[in-house]
Structure 1
Amino acid sequence: MELILSIVIGVLYTVGVYFLLRRSMVRIIFGVLFLGNATNLLIFMASGVLPDAQPAFLAESAPNNPQVMSDPLPQALILTAIVISFGVVAFLLTLLRKTHEVTGENDIDKLK
C-alpha cells in the first residue's frame, strides 16, 4: 500500500510541476491543484496512520490502547491544507477570469 501511494505521490508532483511550467493559465491552476493534493497525500502517508490504525476517538466500551489509535493532528493539518488550497484556487480562478476579460488572452507570453 505504501509503495503504491509513494508512486501516486511522485506522479502527482511530476504532473503538477509539468503543468506549472506550461504557458496556459488554466494549466497553471491545474498544477497548483496537483501539487496541493500530492502534498496532502505526503503528509497523510508520513503520519503513519495508513493500514491498521483505529479511529482517534472511541466509545467508552472500546479498548483504549493508544498504540493502535491514529493521531488526529495530521488529519487536522490536511484539512487545513485543503481549505487553504481551495482559497488559493478560487483566487487564481478569479484572477484568470479578470485577466481574460481585460486582455482576452490565456497565454502568459502574450500578456507582455
Structure 2
Amino acid sequence: MEILMSVTIGVLFMCATYMMLSKSLIRIIIGTGLLSHGAHLLILTMGGLKKDAAAPLLGQHADSYVDPLPQALILTAIVISFGVTSFILVLAYRAYQELGTDNMEQLRGNEGND
C-alpha cells in the first residue's frame, strides 16, 4: 500500500510542478492545489498505514493503534491550503478584471522585451 501511495504522491508532485511552471495563472493555482494534496498524502503515508489498527480511545484494548498526529497535521494543512487557495483565486480574479489577461508574461510587463 505504501508503494502505491508513493507513486501517487510522485505523480501529484510531477503534475503540480509542470502546472506551476506554465504561463497561465489558473494553471499555477491548480498546480498549487495539487502540490498541497500531494503534501497531505505524503504526511499521511509517512505516519504509517495500518490495516487492523484501532482508534486511540481510552478503554479500548487493541494490539496496535493509529497515530492521530498525522491526521491532525493534515486537517490543519487542509484548512490553511483552503485559505491560501481562496486568497490566490480572488487575487487572480482581480488581476484579470484590471488587466484583462491571466498570462504571467503580460502581467510582468515582459511582453515587448524580446
TM-score normalised per structure 1:
0.90
Distance 2:50 2:80 in 1: 24
Distance 1:93 1:100, change over 3 A: same
Report the count of equivalent residues.
108
Partner residue, 1:102: 98
Taking the TM superposition and a 5 Å limit, the aligned residue runs for 1:61-100 are: 62-63=60-61, 65=62, 68-100=64-96
Cα-Cα RMSD? 1.3
| Percent of aligned pairs with the same amino acid | 42
The list of structure 1 runs, each at least 4 consecutive aligned residues, that deviate by more than 4 angstroms after superposition, is none
The secondary structure found in structure 2 opposite 1:12 is helix
Runs (5+) with no aligned partner, structure 1: none
Q: How far did residue 28 of structure 1 move?
A: 0.4
Could you list the per-position Cα deviations for residues 45-88 of structure 1 after superposition, in whole angstroms to 9, with x for gaps in the alignment? 00013433221226x3x42x4x5111111110000000000001
Q: How far did residue 13 of structure 1 move?
A: 0.3
Taking the TM superposition and a 5 Å limit, the aligned residue runs for 1:1-112 are: 1-57=1-57, 60=59, 62-63=60-61, 65=62, 68-111=64-107, 112=109
Runs (5+) with no aligned partner, structure 2: 110-114
Distance 1:74 1:110 in 2: 41
Partner residue, 2:112: none
